[in-house]
Amino acid sequence: MKTKRIVITGGPGTGKSSVINALTERGFTCLEEISREVTLEAKKQGIDQLFLTEPLRFSEALLQGRLQQYHQAHNLSTDTVFFDRGIPDIVAYMDFAKLNYPEDFTKACHNHPYDAVFILKPWKAIYKTDNERYENFEDAMIIHKHLVNTYQSYNYQLIDVPFDTVEKRTDYILNIIHI
């Protein structure tokens, strides 16, 4: 049986990580966002914000990591895998930054489809910045638009997750995919 690949996406500070953590706590297989890992690794090399200083290098590292996660999902013994962001997120962020990227990025989006994509809207009440998140709330709103446009350009029907408690947002996602 084919493993369902489900993306949870949204701009920064939307509650994605909280939902992913809740899914993990309920026993679901979740593959975490890797951008923080890439950022922290760059900081060890003395680069404070790799996306800001070398956005293509940062995005290439994300692409490799997300492709690994995508293929890893095939080898897991579970019916459903949740991803904290998908491959198209990389293209959306590059578009947000008004940067060019190689055709490999768009090919990866076309060649690695997901079964469903849930999107969380920016939510001012829960928005916070931290050492790895440099965007302000207005940026988060613009990033959200880029995410919507990018996923729709790859023919995804995005499923909006309403504002609510983490538990109810998690329940909403599970009810939609019938788990």
Domains for the chain: give ranges and CATH numbers.
Answer: 4-176 (3.40.50.300)
Q: Residue 110 contacts by C-beta under 8 Å, 6 or more apart in sequence?
A: 154
pLDDT given for residue 137 in this prediction: 82
Q: Is the pLDDT of residue 56 over 60?
A: yes
Q: Where are the beta strands (DSSP E) in the chain?
A: 4-10, 29-31, 80-84, 116-120, 159-161
10 within 8 A of 144, measured Cβ to Cβ: yes
The residue-averaged pLDDT of 17-34 equals 94
pLDDT at 132: 55
* Predicted TM-score (pTM) of this structure: 0.90
Confidence of residue 1 (pLDDT cuts 50, 70, 90): low
81-97: pLDDT as tens digits:
999 999 999 999 999 98
